Structure 1
Amino acid sequence: MSSLGSLRCNPFISWFFFFIYLEGFGVELTSGECDCKKIHSGEISCGERLSDQIYLNLIGGRYSCFRLLNGTHEIGCGSAEEGNEGVVVYADNADELINLITGLDFADRIIMAFDIFLLNERIIRVLKDNRVHGVLLLRNDSTIIDQKRLNIGFSEDAFCPNEQFDLSGECKNWWNERGALVPAGFRFINWKKPIFVIENLTEIDIIRNFCYEAFNKKNLKGAVLCSARMKHFMRAAGNAEICLQRQKLFYGFSDSSISLCDPLGDKNLFATVPAFMKKFRPKILILSARMDSFSSFTEAAVGEVSALTSLISLLAVAKTIANHSSDFEAVAQRNGRAVIFSFFHGESLGYIGSSATVNDIIKGEFPLDIRLTDIDSFIEVQQLDGSEPTFNAHIDFKAYDTPGNKQKVQILLDAAWSSLKQRESRNGRGSKITVQRKTPLPPSSYQSFLKGKRDIAGFVLRPFGQQYIYNRINSLEDQNAFKNGTAKLRNQVIAAASAVMGAVAGFLAGGNETETDLFNQYDIDELYVSVLLDCFLKYPDWHTCDFFKSITKGDSQFEHHSKETYISVGRNNYSLIRVLMTMLIVNVLGSKNAVNVSDRGQCEDLNKHNKIYHYTWQYDPEDEKFTCYRNSLYTTAAESPAFKLDGYDMHSGVYSTWVESVWTTKQLELFLTVHPCLTRDITVFLSGFIFFIISLIIMELIYLGNKEAIEPMTSILDSDCNHPSPL
């Protein structure tokens, strides 16, 4: 039996020590069902006192690592069904942590607690040790402000994001080497143990001081040790194919639906300028940005740089076009051209949204009657991180070398550069675009379209060359990155939007410099950019921003969801970023010219007989009332074709096969354990035996000393028993 955490001690003994110790420091222990609701005030006050209970239940933080599965294996975290137990151990630095784990006895079991910013490749390697039964990552917001910590790479993605789905079939450039915690990606480790992130200062204090410091620091083999049980059981195991087959089997043999796992999926968004009229078959420019990010931890994928800043730049472009819609639409229709704003979901986990879109277009299931041959050009914006407004345009050399494509790309780049120069002349800020022809195309939705048609002209616009500058892509830490202000980011976002706006003008004008220069006079709405930056990045929750709160009026679910960009699971789930983007696009690109429409029913009835436009009943912050917007917004399923194609080989690696495990409620409990000790056990046994003998002797002496008084009374009692009362 293990020497650490092997025996739970008697309730009185355990909490006699623990309770007295905590009381001495003014910590109030209460009911075993404590939910620590006064978490931000530093109190844990829940009613009935816990001095006679065994467990101290903690909330365990908002973030807990969860499991994903694909066609070949499983990744992430999970506990045994009854939970994982171990003695709580805390380390201040990396060397102490590594020495502690490597020095454990074979049978020891520990729960390792340490500052989350100590995580690196060395520590991750030792944390995989089977003697580590769980991990508590302590994340104190007050320490995050330290600039040195902000400079530490903390990307949960791999050196080569989406390597399996790369256009070339292999990773030729380590894009994320500066940021990735480990080469294969922290998110893609199969931990086989629970990992929680603890943020509450009271809980951090209890774990570190009142548990580890008080009982475990001096001697991990002491008489009484503070232990923890971490429970976060994942129902899915093996791989996606096994899990889905088991789930289907359960559905067939049971009246109740037992869920084990669900495929990742949500919706893509597409908005066209101009609307696609009948017999209008234009050349198409796709403007793309992804809506999603990911993290190993629940509700942690905020994705400020991974997704949000790029979305803001394209919304700013849409706002400029909307402000001058008649001019743009007239030129587009005259030249037979159109722009499709495309916001894909699930891109960070195998290009789920873009691969589904290409598949829909090929099969004729896309809501617009278009073919891949209609897509003339493609521009994608990525990772605006608040650095200098200098950009790199990454070009796929094979598509670029296709006859005619060099001219197409050059028209886009010249117009983008011209727009930046005009902006620079007005505000004195330097900007530039460097063309990257020799490096491979970075991970992007553009790759999905090139797989479908190899000669689509285009580029990926982002502020880096051969490696990512931002070192927290797809991470728990890709949030609160702009605590010190968004001035530099605002300048960069506006510059990126100006460049894209110039490229749009060049495309719609077909290279006509006169028309292009006319469009370049239209400035990006800087106030609108500022509002979006504040709402997306500044506020702790998106529903506390007045602008977002106003456009989402009538959506009862909005205020109940966290600030997150992770793709949802299943068709009926609610992706907050997608819902928010839908309303923002309708607000920006929608027109308010529907007359005699006074309620939602009348507005939605207009959709029954109209295949060109869509009508949406939504609150208008400008007029402060609900309005029926006419728009050309379309949605498609962002679901991997792997789950739609009959007989698809889940091991082929052609499409994303990620599913998310269903899990049970998370639990974190502290309790005391007794270290097994033969000497102490013998002492306790002998003490009890001696006490028994002494008690027996004393009772015998009492009996002998009062024998004369006791025996007559015994005779009387016997007589009463032999002659009972007639009653």
Structure 2
Amino acid sequence: MSNFLLIFTVFFLCSKVYCERTKEKIYVDITSSGRSPCFRRLNGTHQIGCTSDPKGNVGVVHYVNTSSDIDWLLEKGPHKPYAVLLSARYFNMGTVKRLQASGKVNGIMVIQVAGKEDKYPPAEAFSPDKSCPNQGYGLYSGNEDYEGCSKAVWNPVGQGLMFQDLSIPIFILTQEKDVDFIIEKCYKKFNERDSAGKARDYPLCAVQLKDRMDGAKDSETCTRRTNHQLNLNPDRYCDALGDQNVYATVKDITNEETRENKSVIVVAARMDSFSMFEDHYPSADNHVSGIVALLAVAEAIGKVKDKIRDSNLTKDVMFTFFQGEAFDYIGSGRMVYDMENNLFPSSVTGKYIQKINFRHISHFVEVNQLAYRDEGKVWIHTDPISRPKLPEVDKMVSDLKDIDPSLVEVADMSLPLPPASVQSFLKKADLPAVVVTDHKKEYTNKFYNSRLDLASEIKANCEKGSNKSECYNTVSEQAKNLTQIADMLAKFLYKLATGENSTNDVVVDENTVNHLLYCYLISPNCELFKQSLSKDKADQLADEPYQFYVGVNTQLNNYTALTNQMLMVYLGDRVENVIAKNCTTDTKKQAVYHEQWIQGPLNENGTRNPYCIRGSANFSLAISKAFEIDGYDFKSRQFSTWTESVWQIDAINVRIFLIPSKKFETVTLSIGIVVLVVSMVIVYLINRRVDVLFAPPGPFQEYRTITTSM
């Protein structure tokens, strides 16, 4: 028996030595940098997105480059299940639904190779969002006159693909070499039908698509399972979406002072978007254009802030950036709740700041998408329900138009507001509010909340062949356009805050706008961000853009932190004659002001002169109250209920391999069984005679031989 174990051990060890080599010969892996999965998210009533079987979904590769390729697969394809490789122009609701309903398709791969649009053309228009975004949680939900975008379909290209429970793995492939390999070495070599339309015979090239998601059913069920599971072991099934809002006031009124009613102008933009695929949230027009414009406004107002601070007759301006707005207004909904309950700013982040609530808000100005001007204008949208009650709205519209008549136009006032954060506030109170955006009616952005809302689409990217320094310092046409918009908004806010008609001192710097576009859309590792951070933090900046997806509420989004930092620099004050170790928060003014040591801009000789900055830019929670209220009704639509499914480290994988015919597999299995049975019989017989076959030599060996001969 011991010899049998020895033989088995040797065989096993030899197998381990060569198993990795064998695996490498069988599979070709698509690296993580070349593929991104569609993943599962959940809300109070549904699960949406994609998932695979625990070990992945396997399908024969079929390349779809024309509509006839789809028809052939559905009508004649004999080798199901298939894994379809799709040109981007065919990735839409209609195609996905047809493939899924056929029962022949086990997974989908979508081609998206940046810089190779001639070879792999992108979609001309694509939005995975609904045609009426955030419709269930906005101001007009339940209103018979305006509900469901009955007056204006804002996102007509939106088919709602993001909100489908697809339940098959879907990936985008982003590397040219991977796509070429699948098409040339896999599909064309083994799978492509002949000129007569006849399918190829085995062996066939297949792919295993794995993106296993653990969350299921809805957010309520998933969070309950997670909470129960945490009592037993640390495994989780889903996490609530959420992050932090960013805000800063020009006046810093402590709770020892009085904040007058209707003394705060809120100017806002959103910070997030979504797409169906992990780490692909470019959002150039969707909200980066608004973020950049509003930060440029903050810089311009910061240069004249003393004129606002030093008078009791001026209004305060609160710059606000909301997170989680793409998911039923998480950030604005939470701020509304906090204001209603006298919790904003919170006691943690604003212990000594005077509270701000609805009675303090005098005006609300929101900037939305700004990069694609409809008819060469920016458009002012107002709420038809509250506007007739508030004459201040007409005054806001008139003042905006007067500042730059060639730029500003008013949208049809009978139309409701487009999806915007201010809707969360107007649900609770009538406020003078306007939304400034680039579309007269329907969106001019044909890639709303999608992976295709790219810097190149709004002409804010580097030209081919230009180096980063040239790109950073060359003002693009988009930067000039946004500068004009930001300048108009800055002058309007200054006039609204001070009552002064002269706004000559309020000027937006087009270089700032250009640098901000570069830093947000091209590379965070840019000079503007570097000079606004400490050296340690600047050294950690990535070369590639961070994600604009809100993420889960367990960690701070990188762009949230950077946006807060830019507000700190633009609205803060330089503290003179202070060294690094003394650049600390004054305990008497804790949470009103805080100090940071930043490294400052580069000098001509390549050195920096770091300095201490004091400001009041801060964070507030952008986490839905649905996950904090015991017994909350997840179907009530009072608060956003979005969660993200958890997946394990090894849950994502794409690999290519050849599969033989069923006949070949059967023969191979049969031979294997025969070899196994014969091997077992031989081992059994050897084991029965082991004392004879493997008897050791000894003193009685000679006696045994003699006895046998007799």
| Same structural fold, with TM-score higher than 0.5 when normalized by the shorter chain | yes
Q: Compute the displacement of 1:651 (Å).
A: 1.1
Please state if 1:294 is matched with 2:274: yes
| Contact 1:302–1:566, Cα closer than 8 Å, also in 2 | no
What is aligned with 1:274?
A: 251
Q: Compute the displacement of 1:205 (Å).
A: 1.5
Match of 2:302 among 303, 319, 322: 322
* SS of residue matched to 2:479: helix
Question: How far, CA to CA, are the matches of 2:64 and 2:617 in structure 1?
Answer: 53
What is the Cα-based RMSD across aligned positions, in Å? 3.0
What is aligned with 1:190?
A: 165
The alpha-carbon distance between structure 1 residues 723 and 632, as it changes in their structure 2 partners (threshold 3 A), is: same
Match of 2:399 among 372, 392, 415: 415
| Contact 2:54–2:212, Cα closer than 8 Å, also in 1 | yes
The alpha-carbon distance between structure 1 residues 228 and 522, as it changes in their structure 2 partners (threshold 3 A), is: same
Unaligned runs of 5+ in 1: 1-30, 34-48, 422-429, 690-718
Question: How far, CA to CA, are the matches of 1:131 and 1:32 in structure 2?
Answer: 33
Q: Which amino acid aligns with 1:339?
A: V
Q: Which amino acid aligns with 2:403?
A: S
Identity %: 28
Question: How far, CA to CA, are the matches of 1:68 and 1:115 in structure 2?
Answer: 25
* SS of residue matched to 2:26: coil
The alpha-carbon distance between structure 1 residues 615 and 684, as it changes in their structure 2 partners (threshold 3 A), is: closer
Please state if 1:591 is matched with 2:573: yes
Match of 1:576 among 558, 564, 569: 558
What is aligned with 1:380?
A: 366
Match of 1:449 among 422, 425, 441: 425
* SS of residue matched to 1:580: helix
Match of 2:290 among 275, 286, 310: 310
What is aligned with 1:369?
A: 355
Please state if 1:58 is matched with 2:41: no
The alpha-carbon distance between structure 1 residues 378 and 124, as it changes in their structure 2 partners (threshold 3 A), is: same
| Contact 1:250–1:258, Cα closer than 8 Å, also in 2 | yes
| Contact 1:153–1:178, Cα closer than 8 Å, also in 2 | no
Question: How far, CA to CA, are the matches of 2:602 and 2:588 in structure 1?
Answer: 28
What is aligned with 2:382?
A: 395
Q: Compute the displacement of 1:102 (Å).
A: 4.3
| Contact 2:380–2:408, Cα closer than 8 Å, also in 1 | no
| Contact 2:527–2:601, Cα closer than 8 Å, also in 1 | no
Please state if 1:124 is matched with 2:96: yes
Question: How far, CA to CA, are the matches of 1:720 and 1:144 in structure 2?
Answer: 89
Match of 2:326 among 348, 355, 377: 348
Q: Compute the displacement of 1:412 (Å).
A: 2.3
Q: Compute the displacement of 1:88 (Å).
A: 1.1
Q: Compute the displacement of 1:163 (Å).
A: 1.0
What is aligned with 1:432?
A: 408
Q: Which amino acid aligns with 1:65?
A: C
Question: How far, CA to CA, are the matches of 1:313 and 1:596 in structure 2?
Answer: 32
* SS of residue matched to 1:493: helix
Greater Cα shift, 338-347 or 360-369: 360-369
Question: How far, CA to CA, are the matches of 2:667 and 2:293 in structure 1?
Answer: 74
Question: How far, CA to CA, are the matches of 1:163 and 1:345 in structure 2?
Answer: 18
The alpha-carbon distance between structure 1 residues 123 and 484, as it changes in their structure 2 partners (threshold 3 A), is: farther
Q: Compute the displacement of 1:238 (Å).
A: 1.1
The alpha-carbon distance between structure 1 residues 223 and 124, as it changes in their structure 2 partners (threshold 3 A), is: closer
| Contact 2:277–2:451, Cα closer than 8 Å, also in 1 | yes
Please state if 1:224 is matched with 2:200: no
Q: Which amino acid aligns with 1:496?
A: I
Please state if 1:158 is matched with 2:150: no
| Contact 1:264–1:659, Cα closer than 8 Å, also in 2 | yes
The alpha-carbon distance between structure 1 residues 542 and 52, as it changes in their structure 2 partners (threshold 3 A), is: closer
Q: Compute the displacement of 1:314 (Å).
A: 0.8
What is aligned with 2:436?
A: 461
Q: Compute the displacement of 1:613 (Å).
A: 2.1
| Contact 2:52–2:167, Cα closer than 8 Å, also in 1 | yes
| Contact 1:386–1:489, Cα closer than 8 Å, also in 2 | no
5 Å-filtered alignment, 1:444-523, equals: 444-453=420-429, 455-480=430-455, 481=457, 482=459, 483=461, 487-510=476-499, 515-516=500-501, 518-523=502-507
Please state if 1:110 is matched with 2:82: yes
| Contact 1:111–1:135, Cα closer than 8 Å, also in 2 | yes
Task: Kindly provide the CA deviation profile for residues 588-639 of structure 1, in whole angstroms up to 9, marking residues without a partner as x.
Answer: 111012653422xx43342564353232333322683443321121211100
The alpha-carbon distance between structure 1 residues 684 and 262, as it changes in their structure 2 partners (threshold 3 A), is: closer
Question: How far, CA to CA, are the matches of 1:307 and 1:345 in structure 2?
Answer: 11
Greater Cα shift, 341-350 or 204-213: 204-213
| Contact 2:250–2:317, Cα closer than 8 Å, also in 1 | yes
Question: How far, CA to CA, are the matches of 1:81 and 1:140 in structure 2?
Answer: 28
Question: How far, CA to CA, are the matches of 1:439 and 1:463 in structure 2?
Answer: 15
The alpha-carbon distance between structure 1 residues 186 and 626, as it changes in their structure 2 partners (threshold 3 A), is: farther
The alpha-carbon distance between structure 1 residues 521 and 561, as it changes in their structure 2 partners (threshold 3 A), is: closer
The alpha-carbon distance between structure 1 residues 720 and 187, as it changes in their structure 2 partners (threshold 3 A), is: farther
5 Å-filtered alignment, 1:39-118, equals: 53-59=25-31, 61-104=34-77, 108-118=80-90
The alpha-carbon distance between structure 1 residues 463 and 561, as it changes in their structure 2 partners (threshold 3 A), is: closer
Number of aligned pairs?
619
Task: Kindly provide the CA deviation profile for residues 397-445 of structure 1, in whole angstroms up to 9, marking residues without a partner as x.
Answer: 221111xx22x22332233223225xxxxxxxx4232243111111000
Task: Kindly provide the CA deviation profile for residues 490-511 of structure 1, in whole angstroms up to 9, marking residues without a partner as x.
Answer: 232122212212321231134x
| Contact 1:417–1:502, Cα closer than 8 Å, also in 2 | no
Task: Kindly provide the CA deviation profile for residues 342-389 of structure 1, in whole angstroms up to 9, marking residues without a partner as x.
Answer: 000000111000000000111111114122111111011111124365
| Contact 2:245–2:622, Cα closer than 8 Å, also in 1 | yes
What is aligned with 2:315?
A: 337
Q: Compute the displacement of 1:118 (Å).
A: 2.1
